[in-house]
Structure 1
């Protein structure tokens, strides 16, 4: 960050300064980035991430132990009736669709991959109920492959901090990958999530409240409206 920016509290930062400030702030706040979803391996992580769509990680972590009592591997899960899966995961929302996807992807993993979760974006995204964001989380957190999963929350933060002007999560993902080296993507993805939950929530900050928003744009007076 430039000396002028440090000593001029009413000066909005340049984009390069914002990129550095976000990186340094997130590293200072969250030097460790534990995976939020409890899991035993790639398969249980895949199912947990699928369940987390439109559901909190905390609730998923309450439900998955009950699901693992039915089955915690694709060989057993493929034989569990969809209705039984749905009865357990109902609190996570979208249970008809999610339970069917869990059953179908388990059968595919057994038939096509010998029960293993494939280690490629293309193969993962071809599974029922698995989109690009879910595949990116699995690739990053299960296999350590550089990825920057972007959901609506990260999309909102990136806009508030002036890191993207993208109208959708796809463009925001591309922008963030251009701004930060691949070696930091997996950790930054989680750091964004942790900071958003603690300081820059959807309702608790409008782009003018949290420390990072105020530091990036001290002259911003009106709420930052997220472009979707």
Structure 2
């Protein structure tokens, strides 16, 4: 059980994978979780498993108004927003010469604009209440590039850079954390349409770890005292190099 006072935590992309694990773990620890994703039915099923601590909200992070309403929902429920976990992301890997431009655009829209929309929605409230915590779920792709991963890594580096800039610009009362997972069991790879990239991912995922490994890292950062800011965590499978 969480030993700190319950916080109001918003989690994007909470219908599966890392987002679902983060939302479930924090709700089970007694925090008030507002979980957002496009698949509301999955969020409602998750809410049934978390003993009333999770509130499901349909959310499309590419829509700035959706993020504004998402934050407003949390404020209506509890009167404050303490943590925003920006997790929503897509990963349709492909070689650049495949020219899958629509997929590139989708990654930019979800991974980069979605993060910025969340910051724009939450930052004024964090500033007004004199506290808050941004947690960005990036990737080891923010630190390395592999064939088929140029655009994806570009979006993840952008997430890392934006979050680090936010940390430097923010008042010390606002904490900022980037969590960069290695290979994790999730649905992300299911969106890969290029056959070569999909085949490479099969081998890459051989040693994938559970999404709950990332949820534990997020919970660790969230539950630190207010004067402790965990800036960056990289979590890889032990066999990943």
Tell me, yes or no, whether TM beats 0.5: no
- The alignment's TM-score, normalised by the length of structure 2, stands at 0.28
- The alignment's TM-score, normalised by the length of structure 1, stands at 0.29
